[in-house]
């Protein structure tokens, strides 16, 4: 699994039209995880944590940019 796969699932989930569609996407990712060997699961978890940290950092930077811009007006 490459890190790009996490972005694919993330965007699919964001764009899901319904909660049922989002649940199906989450189940798809869980099925991928279940199919991995123990060593692959460890790498999967490492890559997922790195992806989430990057996404949270981006969200924080965007929030602080907007928050700072709003305070100046």
Predicted TM-score (pTM) of the model is: 0.73
* Domain map (residue ranges) of the chain: 3-71
CB atoms within 10 A of CB 47: 15
Q: pLDDT for 51-62, tens place per residue?
A: 999 999 988 888
SS (H, E, C) 3-72: HHHHHHHHHHHHCCCCHHHHHHHHHHHHHHHHCCCHHHHHHHHHHHHHHHHHHHHHHHHHHHHHHHHHHC
**Residue 10: burial class (beta carbons within 10 Å; 0-12, 13-18, 19+):** middle
| Average pLDDT taken over every residue of the chain | 89
Q: pLDDT for 27-39, tens place per residue?
A: 999 999 999 999 9
Whole-number pLDDT of residue 64: 87
Between 21 and 3, residue with greater pLDDT? 21
pLDDT at 4 over 90: no
């Amino acid at each position: 699994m490459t890190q790009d796969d996490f972005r694919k699932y993330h965007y699919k989930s964001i764009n899901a039209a319904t909660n049922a569609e989002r649940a199906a996407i989450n189940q798809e990712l869980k099925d991928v995880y279940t199919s991995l060997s123990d060593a692959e699961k460890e790498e999967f978890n490492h890559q997922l944590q790195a992806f989430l940290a990057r996404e949270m950092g981006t969200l924080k930077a965007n929030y602080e940019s907007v928050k700072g811009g709003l305070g100046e007006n």
